[in-house]
């Protein structure tokens, strides 16, 4: 896999599209063969770490990405809740889930 470019996605969808551009054809084929939970768990320390380092920790739009992630997986958001009760590891996990879903669509 190419390095994931350091970018500032505002949404999970944008993050998934950035990651897909960095994947090789073989990596996409491997993801297609994997079950969702197996892919997410096995990717936590490699691809998941790349996601956190390139798209989460250095993201100047971090609060927007966090908010979008929270909204996708928890429904409506509370307008005054700036923390959204979600950790960076959970954000990368949710992005991995959506990546798997997009590749399997």
Distance from C-alpha of 6 to C-alpha of 50, rounded to nearest angstrom: 10
Is 9:18 a contact under the CB 8 Å cutoff? yes
Chain-centre distance for alpha carbon 91 = 6
Residue 6 lies in a domain: no
Residue 42 lies in a domain: yes
Rounded to the nearest 10 degrees, the angle between the axes of helix 88-104 and helix 62-74 is: 60
**Total residues found in the chain within this entry:** 105
pLDDT band for position 79 (50/70/90)? low
Start-end of H helices in 2-86: 12-22, 25-33, 36-43, 47-51, 62-74
Residue 1 lies in a domain: no
The encoded tokens of residue 44 equal: 């936590």
Domain range for residue 31? 12-104
What is the model's pLDDT at position 22? 93
What is the model's pLDDT at position 42? 95
pLDDT, one tens digit per residue, over 10-68 is: 999 999 999 999 999 999 999 999 999 999 999 999 999 999 999 999 899 988 898 88
How many domains does one find in the chain?
1
Residue 71 lies in a domain: yes
pLDDT, one tens digit per residue, over 85-96 is: 678 898 999 999
The encoded tokens of residue 101 equal: 């879903």
């Amino acid at each position: 896999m190419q390095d994931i470019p350091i970018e500032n996605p505002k949404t999970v969808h944008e993050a998934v599209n950035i990651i897909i551009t960095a994947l090789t054809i073989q990596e996409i084929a491997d993801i297609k063969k994997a079950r969702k939970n197996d892919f997410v768990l096995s990717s936590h320390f490699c691809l998941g770490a790349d996601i956190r380092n390139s798209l989460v920790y250095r993201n100047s739009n971090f609060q927007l990405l966090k908010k979008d992630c929270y909204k996708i997986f928890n429904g409506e958001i509370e307008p005054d809740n700036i923390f959204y009760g979600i950790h960076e590891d959970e954000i990368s996990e949710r992005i991995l889930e959506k990546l798997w879903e997009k590749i399997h669509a």
